[in-house]
Amino acid sequence: MTSQRARARMIERLKEQGITDAQVLAAMSAVPRHIFVEEGIQHQAYDETPLPIGQGQTISSPYTVAISCQLACRGQRLERVLEVGGGCGYQAAILSRLAKEVVSVERITKLVGRARQSLRELRVNNVVVKNSDGSFGYPAGAPYDAIVVAAAMPYIPDEMKQQLKPGARLVAPVGAGDVQSLILVEALPEGGYSEKTLESVRFVPLLPGIS
């Protein structure tokens, strides 16, 4: 099966799972997910499953990427987005089609190099991949129209919320082990934040430091 056919099946599955944002679906269709996984498991790239990318990390399932992006974007074209836990660069590639500029933070140096290489291969030129500890976001690039976190945190720190523009959204998994939930935070125009717990998820933990 060609990746084009596999991608088309993935898109139909995402629609059945409740992904309705046309720009998110278009981005998921356009970005070749198999480029971001090891050659030996590329035949699984468009399956609904997370896959190992080395260094004890995974690439999130297509639905997890799609719902996170859909929640963050709300059908709008964004200016600047922060991704925390960039991994192999796949979600950054999706976000590059949804925002004018993407800052992707990854703590593992080998994954940073791999992500940069894959993004160059796809000629993605609006993503900056930083080798940095993203535990508290990336204040140097703030404020952001959206923040998407791709690793589980015990809680969402105020320092990260404060990097949102008024009206902007933050999507992050919160919890540990098998008990994690996807949390949606919105920076209210009048000040303060709203927080909503959505569905159960499973992510690797967000660790501090650089390795």
**Residue 190: which CATH number?**
3.40.50.150
Residues comprising the chain, all counted: 211
Tell me the β-bridge partners of 51.
59
> Is 205 part of a structural domain of the chain?
no
Could you list the active site residues?
A: 60
- pLDDT given for residue 28 in this prediction: 95
The predicted pLDDT at position 2 comes to 62
> For residue 169, what are the domain limits?
3-200
* Tens-binned pLDDT, residue by residue, of the chain (211 aa): 467 889 999 999 999 999 999 999 999 999 999 999 888 888 888 999 888 888 778 889 999 999 999 999 988 899 999 999 999 999 999 999 999 999 999 999 999 999 999 999 999 999 999 999 999 999 999 999 999 999 999 999 999 999 999 999 999 999 988 889 999 999 998 889 999 999 988 888 888 888 8
Q: How many domains does the chain have?
A: 1
Instruction: Decide if 206 is inside a domain.
Output: no
Is residue 207 in some structural domain? no
Asked, for residue 87, whether it belongs to a domain, the answer is yes
**Residue at 184: amino acid letter:** L
Is 186 within a domain? yes
Which residues, in sequence order, are CB contacts of 138 under 8 Å at separation 6+? 82, 84, 103, 105, 130, 132, 163
Q: What is the pLDDT of residue 86?
A: 92
Burial 131-160 (b: 16+ CB within 10 A, else e): bbbbbebbeebbbbbbbbbbbbbeebeeeb
119 located within any domain: yes
Is the pTM above the cut of 0.85? yes
Q: What is the pLDDT of residue 205?
A: 81
In a domain, 60, yes or no: yes
What lies within 8 Å, CB to CB, of 209 at 6+ separation is: 107, 133
How far is the C-alpha of 132 from the C-alpha of 138, rounded, in Å?
8
User: Is 113 within a domain?
Assistant: yes
